[in-house]
Every structure is written in C-alpha cells, then in structure tokens.
C-alpha cells in the first residue's frame, strides 16, 4: 500500500545506506512531515547537503537538491537563495560537516540571516568515516580517535548559533519526534536563518563505543537525559549539567532578512544610477 509521504522520497534510491537503528531516518521523516505541514510546494524546495551519513538524506528526498562538498552546504545554499529568493532552501548537515570543517560558514550564515533552514543531524561523531570525534562529542566520551575519553569541551550548537545571530534556534531529539517536526515546521515558516539541532542516534559507532546499548536504549537515553528549556531556566547550571536542554531558544523577527535587504539595496542603487 502506498504511504501518504511516498511522493517525498525517491523510491529508486532506496534502500538507504544508514545502519539499522540509526536515527537519521527519524530526522528525515520529521523533515518530510514539516514540509507537508508547512504547506510548501515541493517544487519550490531545494535541499542542500554536505558530506556524511546525514548528508545522504538529500539523495532520498524527492526535491531539487545539491550534494556538495564536505562542510560547504551553506555556501551553496547562500548562492541558491540569493539567485532565487522565492525558493525554500533547506540544508541537511552533520555535526562534523556543520561545526568542524564547515564551522566558519555556519557562524557567518547565522550572522547574515539569509532565509535558509538548517537541520543539523547531530550524532556526536563522524559517522560516515568510522566514528572519529567531532566538535559535539561530549567530554569524556569515547570515539575512534578518543579511545581513552574525549578531553575537549563540546560546542553547544544552539548557543553557538544564538551568539552568532541566528534568528530561529531550536533543539530536539529523535525520541521527541513531534517536537522535532514542529520545530522544523517553524524553521521553514520563519523569515530568516533558522537552525534546528536534531540529536540523532548512532548505535553502530557512538552507541557501541560508549556502551549506550542498542537503538531502543539510545532512544530511552535521549528521553532520560533531556530537560525542557522552561524547566531548565528555573534551575542552576550545576543542576542541568550533563542534561540535553530541548526547546526553542531563539525566535526573533527584529533582524532584517538578508535577501530582502539586498533587493532594497539594489533598488536604491538603481535609483541613484538613474539620477
Ligand atoms: C574535504 C573533505 N574532508 C574530509 C572528508 C571525509 N569525510 C567525509 S564525511 C566526514 C565526516 C562526517 O561527519 P558528520 O558531518 O558529523 O556526518 P555523519 O556522517 O556523522 O552524519 C569526513 C571527515 C571529505 N569527504 N572531504
């Protein structure tokens, strides 16, 4: 029987490459539902990916798309959106793609406030290349390159995005699917740069190395580890240490959207040239 969302997937590209129990399918499902819920014409959507397990999502999604260089989807997305501001541009990226090799592009995209929706599939490691540590690997966690435990402090990507100027910033997990879908929907409807950090499970690499159990246990771990933002705000920092704070951190409309601002600038320049 055909599924109501089948039309959003490229059936000829399935089955996907993700491991059993990987959370990336849940994030991609939430993304599809969000496009549907937001009532966006699929022909007006462009999904742009970098390189990584997460970035493979764009190959399965039946929208226009670009699979670009590792760490550079935001650069391509900027070009696409500036060339045709009417398009809904969505970036699918990993924690490595977005915050390691693409970190500089990420902060400047936040600063610029171009109307792009960025969905970060954060599995706390480099999945595609075998489980090396990433900028979001928690301190103490094991990875293929931190076998005795990570001594780096991880980035909080939502705090980073907020500090850099992103105008919609939210976080959810693959356990909290409804919230994730709502956040992506709001990100798509938001006029400006939106960041949705989707905490995703990687049972094969991160889960196994950190003895987090199988796919179901990892979902349970997300449930147990999470705290809602409203509740977290009432607690002291030491009381929420090690917790995943979920919710909408930023939703502001006071900053101008970049492409609209650029249009105005162009018109003003044309008027001046006419004089
Ligand atoms: C310029 C460049 N450097 C390195 C790589 C190798 N590489 C491919 S994917 C990847 C990391 C992917 O990690 P992440 O973005 O977190 O995505 P995940 O696979 O975990 O979803 C790396 C280092 C590459 N393809 N291109």
Q: What is the pTM of this model?
A: 0.97
- Per the structure, the complete domain to which residue 104 belongs is given by 6-274
Query: Is pLDDT at 68 greater than 80 in this prediction?
Result: yes
Distance 168 CA to ligand 1 centre (A): 26
pLDDT at residue 271 in the model: 94
CATH of the domain at 245: 3.40.50.970
Domain assignment of residue 1, yes or no? no
Ligand 1 pocket, 249 CB below 6 A?
A: no
Question: How do 45-49 and 88-94 pair as beta strands?
Answer: parallel
Domain assignment of residue 19, yes or no? yes
Domain assignment of residue 149, yes or no? yes
* Residue 126 Cα: closest atom of ligand 1: 13
The residue whose CA is least distant from atom 22 of ligand 1 is 129
Phi, psi torsion values for 161, nearest 5 degrees: -65, -40
Ligand 1 pocket, 51 CB below 6 A?
A: yes
Q: What is the pLDDT of residues 88-129, one digit of tens each?
A: 999 999 999 999 999 999 999 999 999 999 999 999 999 999
* Residue 100 Cα: closest atom of ligand 1: 15
Q: What is the pLDDT of residues 192-238, one digit of tens each?
A: 999 999 999 999 999 999 999 999 999 999 999 999 999 999 999 99
Best mutation site among 67, 75, 121, 128 for ligand 1 pocket (most ligand atoms within 8 Å of CB): 128
pLDDT at residue 274 in the model: 82
Q: What is the pLDDT of residues 6-64, one digit of tens each?
A: 999 999 999 999 999 999 999 999 999 999 999 999 999 999 999 999 999 999 999 99
* Residue 52 Cα: closest atom of ligand 1: 19
Ligand 1 pocket, 190 CB below 6 A?
A: no
Domain assignment of residue 90, yes or no? yes
Q: What is the pLDDT of residues 70-87, one digit of tens each?
A: 999 999 999 999 999 999
pLDDT at residue 4 in the model: 82
Query: Is pLDDT at 245 greater than 80 in this prediction?
Result: yes
* Residue 202 Cα: closest atom of ligand 1: 20
Domain assignment of residue 37, yes or no? yes
Rounded distance between C-alpha atoms, residue 25 and residue 97, angstroms: 18
The total number of structural domains in the chain stands at 1
Best mutation site among 27, 71, 96, 202 for ligand 1 pocket (most ligand atoms within 8 Å of CB): 96
């Amino acid at each position: 029987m055909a599924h109501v969302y089948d039309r959003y997937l490229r059936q000829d590209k399935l089955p996907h490459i993700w491991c059993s129990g990987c959370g990336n399918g849940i994030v991609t499902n939430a993304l599809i539902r969000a496009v549907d819920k937001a009532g966006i014409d699929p022909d007006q959507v462009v999904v742009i990916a970098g390189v990584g397990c997460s970035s493979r999502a764009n190959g399965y999604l039946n929208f226009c798309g670009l699979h670009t260089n590792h760490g550079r989807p935001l650069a391509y997305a900027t070009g696409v959106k500036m060339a045709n501001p009417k398009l809904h541009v969505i970036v699918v990226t990993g924690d490595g793609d977005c915050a390691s090799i693409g970190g500089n592009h990420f902060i400047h995209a936040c600063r610029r406030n171009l109307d792009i929706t960025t969905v970060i599939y954060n599995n706390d490691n480099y999945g595609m290349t075998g489980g090396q540590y990433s900028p979001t690997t928690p301190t103490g966690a094991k990875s293929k390159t931190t076998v005795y435990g990570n001594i780096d402090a991880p980035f909080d990507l939502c705090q980073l995005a907020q500090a850099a100027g992103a105008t919609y910033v939210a976080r959810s997990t693959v356990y909290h699917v409804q919230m994730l879908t709502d956040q992506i929907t709001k990100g798509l409807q938001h006029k400006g740069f939106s960041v949705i950090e989707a905490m995703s499970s990687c049972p094969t690499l991160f889960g196994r190395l950190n003895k987090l159990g199988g796919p179901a246990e990892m979902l349970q771990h997300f449930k147990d580890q999470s705290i809602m933002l409203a509740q977290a705000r009432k607690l002291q920092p030491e009381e929420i240490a090690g917790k995943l704070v979920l919710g909408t951190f930023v939703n502001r409309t006071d900053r101008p959207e970049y492409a609209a601002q650029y249009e105005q600038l162009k018109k003003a320049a044309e008027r001046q040239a006419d004089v």
